Structure 1
Amino acid sequence: MSRGQRELTLRFLAEPTDVNFGGKVHGGAVMKWIDLAAYACSASWSGKYCITAYAGGIRFVSPILVGNLVEVNAKVVYTGTSSMHIAIDVQASDPKEPQNRLTTHCIVIMVAVDENGKPTAVPEWVPETEEDIALRNSAVRLMEMRQEIGEEMEAHVKYLKTDNT
């Protein structure tokens, strides 16, 4: 993978150690794969070490079974000064059959940091296609909604602190 590459896919087989008590791949294992793909994508785009700042809107659409071929697709859909919004789709299939099915989707925000752990600038991503413009606009709307939710959560926490003191 070369620097400045916007998209990548991790592929591997789901292993027996990934299974939960219900016999399906554990959600925590899927979240780990999402974080790995987000890191690899953001580090490749920025050429810098990156840390996870946010993972949200995780939708578990269908289960992954042991032995499934798993594909974790990561794509930069927005860049800020030091942050990158990465759209993640997880798909799986029986390796004997060519049909992938969506299992999980989410957005992860990664921040590039310097050797002192301080945020550092990343290259700007400029959308060119209609699809890319729509993805960027969606990322901006989600960012605005997260801001509103954050403010509401802060008010909620303040209320709980004053109610319990």
Structure 2
Amino acid sequence: MSDRRREVTLRFLAEPGDVNFGGKVHGGAVMKWIDLAAYACSAGWSGKYCITAYAGGIRFVKPIHVGNLVEVTAKVIYTGRSSMHIAIDVQASDPKELKNQLTTHCIVIMVAVDETGQPTDVPEWVPQTDEDKVLRQSAIRLMNMRKEIGEEMEAHVKYIK
């Protein structure tokens, strides 16, 4: 699988159009960057068009300032039949100092689809290092927790009309 790309990093400057009312980069802009990186990573791994199925556990750790150099790193940490779990880290720094600080972290699940929009198989990712094995186990635990949360949320959906 040497032609598969497991990790990708997008780099750019945070622009004035990304700012919120508080003068920092808007969380919605960060979420867009996360989705772009997740797509680039999943398409690079699968060689197929991919769609976002889930984005969760988003932690905004520190603000991003206009003019910061932003790095959004996406890495495959688990694969299912058609899905890929992508760990995302967003880091930012003053471009004059280049001292990256973690600003945001989350997990995104992408699904590869065929020309008709139906899920299609993706290559299996097999962990090679101890760190990879820990990340894979974490993805599996999170998958089980999401299932429980989904079942619990069904009770709420029944009563919303």
Query: What is aligned with 1:78?
Result: 78
Query: What is aligned with 1:113?
Result: 113
Q: Number of paired residues?
A: 160
Q: Does 1:126 align with 2:132?
A: no
Instruction: Report 1:4-23 matches (<5 A).
Output: 4-23=4-23
| AA of the residue aligned to 1:118 | Q
Query: What is aligned with 1:43?
Result: 43
Give the C-alpha shift of residue 3 in structure 1: 4.5
Q: Is the 8 A contact 1:14 1:25 kept in 2?
A: yes
C-alpha root-mean-square deviation of aligned residues, in Å?
A: 1.1
Query: What is aligned with 2:52?
Result: 52
Instruction: Report 1:86-101 matches (<5 A).
Output: 86-101=86-101
Query: What is aligned with 1:66?
Result: 66
TM-score, with normalisation over the residues of structure 2? Answer: 0.97
**Which structure has the bigger radius of gyration?**
1
Equivalent-residue separation in structure 1 for 2:3 and 2:39 (angstroms): 13
1:97-135 CA-to-partner distances (Å, cap 9, x unmatched) read: 021000000000000000000000000000010000000
Q: Is the 8 A contact 1:3 1:47 kept in 2?
A: no
Moved segments of 4+, more than 6 Å: none
1:79-105 CA-to-partner distances (Å, cap 9, x unmatched) read: 000000000000000000021000000
Equivalent-residue separation in structure 1 for 2:35 and 2:44 (angstroms): 14
Extract unaligned runs of 5+ from structure 2: none
